[in-house]
Structure 1
């Protein structure tokens, strides 16, 4: 079994490439989702809180969080899938990251509120979780594409 001291420079570089690509993919997905929310969501009153109303420090911090999450996802995804083609493994990594990010957002929204608010806004909370899963799925598709073309090498488990 490899430990961190046995990882070659090439492995670390490939992980850096995977993390950077996933960070950029997640950031782009975040921006596209924000734009889509502003175009589509005015039609649904329950989801209007998902809209981005201004380019401010809050948005910059949210973009940074998306990028950091994407970087960690890319490194973990490359390590987890290695040369495995098991779709459940790939989906599991996407689901794990998407749910953690999405449910953390729900947790922040719910803090200090009653269960009545949860029932009233279930669509909003589901949209938060689904957005996160969608963004990580996009990053996984981009990583799979680049790994298949050997632009990023899969993790060597030897």
Structure 2
């Protein structure tokens, strides 16, 4: 039964992180559309509903996987490098993929650089929310 409890905690961790990343993503999309940078950044906000839902779903899946992995990364260890390393790993993989695609499509560098920073912030927010949930005993570390 302990194995099932651990799996449930992992699902909870993934759901919390997915929610945090999607909310952060939507906030960034709204800000980018208000600043008029949404088109240059490929913001789905204001785009056709299919693109918006697909982008949000991709962010949710990435956030879920981050949440499950983050719980295992930190365990009961107080080492801050484990936490920041997990955030950087996920943020850089997502962000550098966008950078690579932006360079391939010959987009200007600064908007793509903003996407890299947004990716790092998405996972940093998810990590902070998970730490907050663990501190309140809503979620158990592995």
Structure 1: where are the runs of 5+ without partners?
1-5
Which residue number corresponds to residue 124 of structure 1?
111
1:97 aligns with one of 90, 107, 112: 90
Structure 2: where are the runs of 5+ without partners?
none
Query: Aligned partners of 1:66 and 1:134: how far apart in 2?
Result: 13
Trace 1:5-154 onto structure 2 (pairs within 5 A).
Answer: 8-40=3-35, 42=36, 48-50=39-41, 51=43, 52-111=45-104, 113=106, 121-154=108-141
Q: CA RMSD in A?
A: 1.9
Answer yes or no: is the 8 Å Cα contact 2:102–2:109 preserved in 1: no
In the alignment of these two chains, the number of paired residues is 140
The structure-2 alpha-carbon separation of the partners of 1:28 and 1:112, relative to structure 1 and needing over 3 Å to count, comes to closer
Deviation at 1:108, TM superposition (A): 2.0
Deviation at 1:58, TM superposition (A): 1.1
The structure-2 alpha-carbon separation of the partners of 1:86 and 1:112, relative to structure 1 and needing over 3 Å to count, comes to same
Q: TM-score, normalised by structure 1?
A: 0.81
Q: Could you list the per-position Cα deviations for residues 11-35 of structure 1 after superposition, in whole angstroms to 9, with x for gaps in the alignment?
A: 1110000001101111111101101
Deviation at 1:111, TM superposition (A): 2.4
